[in-house]
């Protein structure tokens, strides 16, 4: 089967789900006639019409709120944030309304909020953010962040079919840089399950999104230069976290580095570290180390962005430190 890009995999998932279920529809800014700022929804309008591919006003709060209302009535909306940075404008709607709705009143919100996240593209402070930590912290929301084209498709199909709201973080750096072969048939990646992206025995690197590829590069380098066998865990789902996959790998390697593109303080790496501390303290041969962005807004100049964001060399250095501790 021919390979398709990460972006095409997202589009393929949207096409297949809209074909499968007439309740699925898309709404967002510039997604219909224009096909989206990154052309993710290109072609949807021609196939499904503007009634199911809705161009909205610039109103992230209303996009998410309207998606919730439609979801209450049995629809399966997929709301696009043109850049995931703008989900901040819908923070109240997502956290106070959508996340609490089922729990409080029994009103369900089977909906997806998706959008391009992440940096390494010189997008600057408002087109590069990684907002996952705030939503990981919100009971009632699920968060997924695919690293591969296969998971981009499989996780989006799972998110659309999930009976609750899923925040789907697609990494814009990966859109056209990676490809994958889609498994035949109805390809759904279960939410809540991490994968072993590379098996190893000396040190574990836990990551997600675009950082998984840097972790894999780091593993190659560590094997080549240090003879270290590095296991790479691709979380795939950030909420709920797959504790079991993390603990199994840790008990094999006894050394853990957590690498994410988001900033350090209050980031997901801290949460994973706490879980390891609570449940696997005696299995550790080294302190858990974090490789993250510095705690600053993401600057746009390439030299600044490169410094702020974690690079392969940072993962290599942390893994070496953990290995020799």
Partner 1 sequence: MISVAGKRAAAGARRGSLASSAPTLTADQKLALYYWMRLTRSLEERLVALHRQNKLVGGVFRSLGQEADAVGSAFALEPGDVVSSLTRNLGSLLVKGATPAEVIRQHMGTADSPTGGRDLGLHFADIERGFIGHVSPLGNMVSVMAGVTLSFLMRGERRAGLVYVGDGATSTGAFHEGLNFAGVQRCPLVVIVENNGYAYSTPTRLQTAAARFVDKAVGYGVAGDRADGNDVLAVYDVTKRAVNRAREGGGVTLIELMTYRRRGHAEHDNQSYVPSGEVDRWAADNDPIDRYLRVLLDREKVDESAISAIDARVQAEVDEAAEQASHSAAPLGADALHGVHADPPAAAALWYR
Task: Please identify every residue annotated as catalytic.
Answer: 127
Residue 123: CB minimum distance to partner 1, A: 25
Query: Does the protein bind partner 1 through residue 163 (CB under 8 A)?
Result: yes
Candidates 74-82, 208-216, 288-296, 306-314; binding stretch for partner 1 (CB under 8 A): 74-82
Calculate the alpha carbon distances from 235 to 141, 170, 239, 260 in Å.
Answer: 16, 14, 10, 11
Query: Does the protein bind partner 1 through residue 75 (CB under 8 A)?
Result: yes
Query: Does the protein bind partner 1 through residue 96 (CB under 8 A)?
Result: yes
* Helix, strand, coil % in the chain, rounded to nearest 5: 40, 20, 40
Could you give the string, one character per residue 2-41, with x where binding to partner 1 holds by CB under 8 A and - elsewhere? -----------------------x----------------
Residue number, 164 or 231, with CB nearest to partner 1: 164
Distance CA 226, CA 158 (A): 39
Residues 196-235 that bind partner 1 (CB under 8 A): none
Residue 68: CB minimum distance to partner 1, A: 5
Residues 37-66 that bind partner 1 (CB under 8 A): 51-52, 54, 56-57, 59, 61-66
Distance CA 325, CA 311 (A): 22
Question: Is the CB of residue 78 less than 8 Å from the CB of residue 114?
Answer: yes
What's the number of CA atoms in the CB half-sphere (13 Å) around residue 200?
A: 28
Question: Is the CB of residue 103 less than 8 Å from the CB of residue 275?
Answer: no
Distance CA 181, CA 97 (A): 38
Interface ranges with partner 1 (CB under 8 A): 25, 51-52, 54, 56-57, 59, 61-75, 77, 92-93, 96-97, 100, 102-108, 139-140, 142, 162-164, 240, 278-279
């Amino acid at each position: 089967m021919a390979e398709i890009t990460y972006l095409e995999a997202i589009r393929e998932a949207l096409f297949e789900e809209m074909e499968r279920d007439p309740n699925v529809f898309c709404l967002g800014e510039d997604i219909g006639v224009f096909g989206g700022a990154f052309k993710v929804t290109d072609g949807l309008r021609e196939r499904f019409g503007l009634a199911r591919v809705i161009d909205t006003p610039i109103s992230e709060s209303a996009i998410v709120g309207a998606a919730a209302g439609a979801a209450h009535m049995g629809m399966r909306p997929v709301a696009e944030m043109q850049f995931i940075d703008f989900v901040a404008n819908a923070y109240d709607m997502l956290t106070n309304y959508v996340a609490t709705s089922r729990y409080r009143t029994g009103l369900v919100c089977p909906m997806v909020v998706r959008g391009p996240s992440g940096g390494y593209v010189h997008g600057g402070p408002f087109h590069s953010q990684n907002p996952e930590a705030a939503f990981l912290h919100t009971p009632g929301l699920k968060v997924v962040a695919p690293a591969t084209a296969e998971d981009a498709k499989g996780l989006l199909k799972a998110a659309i079919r999930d009976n609750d709201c899923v925040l789907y973080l697609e990494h814009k750096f990966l859109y056209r840089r990676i490809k994958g072969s889609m498994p035949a048939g109805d390809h759904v990646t279960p939410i809540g399950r991490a994968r072993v992206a590379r098996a190893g025995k000396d040190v574990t690197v836990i990551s997600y999104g675009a950082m998984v590829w840097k972790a894999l590069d780091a593993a190659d380098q560590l094997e080549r230069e240090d003879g270290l066998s590095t296991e790479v865990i691709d979380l795939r789902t950030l909420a709920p976290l797959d504790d079991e996959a993390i603990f199994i790998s840790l008990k094999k390697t006894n050394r853990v580095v957590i690498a994410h593109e988001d900033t350090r303080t209050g980031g997901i790496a801290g949460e994973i570290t706490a879980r390891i501390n609570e449940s696997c303290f005696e299995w550790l041969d080294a302190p858990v180390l974090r490789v993250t962005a510095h705690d600053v807004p993401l600057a746009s100049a390439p030299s600044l962005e490169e410094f702020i964001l974690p690079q392969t060399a940072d993962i290599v250095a942390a893994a070496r430190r953990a290995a020799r501790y």
